[in-house]
Chains A and B, each alone.
Chain A
């Protein structure tokens, strides 16, 4: 059994509430840094492999814009989908105390997580709708019935939940 981290008194009132654009933006920025690091690490790994294969004629591999864009979007989508489908949070959401839940407040189904990741990747501007929305929901949230809520607890709520009886 793992004890949840204590939540400061001033933050308890926000637990379960949807996050605003600033918090979500900071989390997205951190996720962008993570994706950038992953891409850099992938590029360096690929370069290292090429150097090992032919050190004498080695030079840094050149990439095309299409490749860069495709790789970035692919990594970003995979990263987001993996985080939301497992713990409900990416690294940026983890740092900022956010969690993505479905309309029942539970973990996103895998397909929903993939769909939301793809939606956020190809239509990121829809995320800004949370700044205008009365309910702080982005276009993706409205379409997929998801929410990004404050959750400073260490573990996902469904981790300890008993199996829900079938309706």
Chain B
């Protein structure tokens, strides 16, 4: 005998015994209370008995029913029974969901939830954003207010590659649209030219450039005449049957020129002569 069933039997037998004992004590009481048998007394005794029995049975049922139900439920697959036997749709249809929702403490529910993690795990944000009408959002956006709060200069300096942008700019096209005449009208060309002329020593520049060109030309002529001298000397040497051309250094010229070498302002020719290598 299983413990549950034993409990049930004990729960049923106990009250029954108690019922018998209680009936006996009631009849005995009746006998003592009623010295003369009568109808009224019997009705009263019966009522008392019924009342006692009813209370006893109720007490027994209070013990018996839960035990029996528990035993029965433990042997049943209540979910399957409900699924098979109950029309849940009909039940739910009759439920006043609004009333349930009205009683629901949404804030408390949300407080217990990690909505951020929940959204990240369960929501396809890309799909949602893809369906968002960005144009409509942008149309409602107060761009001026947004820009007002931003330091655009610093933002551009930090985030924008200005060199790359400028490199792609069509300067020619920009210049083509430029109103040069208007720019020139605003410039004091005469004053500007005067300032430039004042800053530059133009005559000195012209003299320098002219002198440079003339100097190069003169040097070319000098070198050519030197080469011509060499040719003439070789021809004369051949005509006169000279084997070797003699140095053309002045006899006494070298010594005084060498003395001039230590003088800082001495012209280079003295140093050249002093440190001269064999004649080219």
A interface with B by C-beta (< 8 Å):
1-2, 4-8, 10-23, 26, 95-97, 101-106, 131-132, 134-136, 147, 149-157, 160-162, 164
Assess whether A157 is in contact with B269, with CB atoms less than 8 Å apart: yes
Determine whether B62 belongs to the interface, using a CB cutoff of 8 Å to chain A: no
Q: How far is the CA of A23 from the CA of B224 in the complex (A)?
A: 9
Closest residue of B by beta carbon distance from A16: B273
**Residues of B contacting A10 in the complex (Cβ-Cβ under 8 angstroms):** 223
Closest residue of B by beta carbon distance from A156: B267
Q: Say yes or no: A17-B267 contact (C-beta < 8 A), given A11-B223, A105-B253.
A: no
Assess whether A135 is in contact with B246, with CB atoms less than 8 Å apart: yes
Q: How far is the CA of A26 from the CA of B276 in the complex (A)?
A: 26
Interface centre among A2, A105, A135 (most CB of B within 10 A): A105
Q: How far is the CA of A15 from the CA of B223 in the complex (A)?
A: 12
Q: How far, in Å, is B180 (CB) from chain A's closest CB?
A: 45
Assess whether A13 is in contact with B277, with CB atoms less than 8 Å apart: yes
Within B215-273, the residues touching A (CB, 8 Å) are: 215, 218-219, 221-223, 225-226, 228-230, 232-233, 236, 240, 242, 245-257, 259-260, 263-270, 272-273
Q: Say yes or no: A13-B280 contact (C-beta < 8 A), given A104-B255, A157-B257.
A: yes
Assess whether A103 is in contact with B251, with CB atoms less than 8 Å apart: yes
**Residues of A contacting B267 in the complex (Cβ-Cβ under 8 angstroms):** 4, 151, 153-157, 160
Assess whether A105 is in contact with B250, with CB atoms less than 8 Å apart: yes
Question: What is the count of residue pairs linking A and B with beta-carbon distances less than 8 angstroms?
Answer: 147
Assess whether A21 is in contact with B266, with CB atoms less than 8 Å apart: no
Q: How far is the CA of A92 from the CA of B267 in the complex (A)?
A: 20
Q: Say yes or no: A103-B277 contact (C-beta < 8 A), given A14-B226, A135-B246, A160-B265.
A: no
Q: Mark B110-142, 1 if CB is under 8 A from A, else 0.
A: 000000000000000000000000000000000
Task: Give 9 nearest A-B pairs by CB, closest first.
Answer: A20-B229, A105-B253, A153-B267, A16-B273, A18-B248, A22-B228, A147-B250, A160-B265, A23-B225
Determine whether B279 belongs to the interface, using a CB cutoff of 8 Å to chain A: yes
Assess whether B266 is in contact with A160, with CB atoms less than 8 Å apart: yes
Q: How far, in Å, is B221 (CB) from chain A's closest CB?
A: 7
**Residues of A contacting B254 in the complex (Cβ-Cβ under 8 angstroms):** 16, 105
> Do most interface residues of chain A lie in helix, strand or loop, or is the interface mixed?
loop
B interface with A by C-beta (< 8 Å):
215, 218-219, 221-223, 225-226, 228-230, 232-233, 236, 240, 242, 245-257, 259-260, 263-270, 272-273, 276-277, 279-280
Closest residue of B by beta carbon distance from A103: B252
Q: How far is the CA of A13 from the CA of B232 in the complex (A)?
A: 18
Q: How far is the CA of A153 from the CA of B260 in the complex (A)?
A: 14
**Residues of B contacting A15 in the complex (Cβ-Cβ under 8 angstroms):** 268-269, 272-273, 276
Assess whether A106 is in contact with B236, with CB atoms less than 8 Å apart: no
Q: How far is the CA of A26 from the CA of B218 in the complex (A)?
A: 12
**Residues of B contacting A18 in the complex (Cβ-Cβ under 8 angstroms):** 248-250
Q: How far, in Å, is B206 (CB) from chain A's closest CB?
A: 19
Interface centre among B255, B269, B273 (most CB of A within 10 A): B269
Assess whether A20 is in contact with B268, with CB atoms less than 8 Å apart: no
Closest residue of B by beta carbon distance from A21: B232
**Residues of A contacting B245 in the complex (Cβ-Cβ under 8 angstroms):** 134
Q: How far is the CA of A12 from the CA of B226 in the complex (A)?
A: 12
Interface centre among B248, B256, B270 (most CB of A within 10 A): B248
Assess whether A153 is in contact with B223, with CB atoms less than 8 Å apart: no
Closest residue of B by beta carbon distance from A97: B222
Q: How far is the CA of A151 from the CA of B267 in the complex (A)?
A: 9
Assess whether A101 is in contact with B273, with CB atoms less than 8 Å apart: no
